[in-house]
Amino acid sequence: MVNLVGVAGSLRRHSYNRGLLRAAAEVMPEGSELDIASIDGIPLYDADVEREGMPEAVAALKDAIAAADGLLMVTPEYNNGVPGVFKNAIDWASRPPADAARVFAGKPVAVIGASPGGFGTVLAQSGWLPVLRTLGTRPWFGDRLLVARAGDAFDDEGNLVDEKVRGRLRKFLAGFVAEIG
């Protein structure tokens, strides 16, 4: 059984990327599972806050990533880059440095995303690579999923309604799970 954890990098309840993550949980290959973790409630990183103790939302995210066989990051793209709120959550999850290896070292990671623009999240996905390298993860490059013009692929509540995208998602996840399994 391959167990993935998925994290969407948006706080908006009906975001395209939260919807893409929910759809991923629905189309996981047989013999695998995707648990959804959240970045909700994670404060802006502050070393003073860290000294007082790890925030509960951060500890939960770290434990979820550490326990999983692989990490699926579902990233929006803001201003041609990585969203600050998502980067902040991953930065928190790497703290303290002595604990970063428990959470990230050698962890297989796949990155997908949806955007209203015509290029999907190509720049945000590429923007994650230096971060993933620094954390010592194993980024998976076996396939790519960029959902462009996401307004056409999702309904107003952020649910994936485009069956072609759902099929591409299913194929992507099958490849990622096969690589891990």
Class level of CATH domain 2-180:
alpha beta
Give 33-86 pLDDT, tens digit per residue.
Answer: 999 999 999 999 999 999 999 999 999 999 999 999 999 999 999 999 999 999
Number of Cβ within a 10 Å radius of residue 127: 18
- Whether the pTM exceeds 0.95: the reply is yes
Full pLDDT tens readout for the chain, 181 residues: 999 999 999 999 999 999 999 999 999 999 999 999 999 999 999 999 999 999 999 999 999 999 999 999 999 999 999 999 999 999 999 999 999 999 999 999 999 999 999 999 999 999 999 999 999 999 999 999 999 999 999 999 999 999 999 999 999 999 999 999 8
| Domain extent listing, the chain | 2-180
Distance CA 94, CA 101 (A): 8
128: nearest Cα among 89, 165, 167: 89
Q: Name the CA radius of gyration of the chain, rounded.
A: 15
Provide the angle, in degrees to the nearest 10, between the axes of the packed helices 97-104 and 84-93. 100
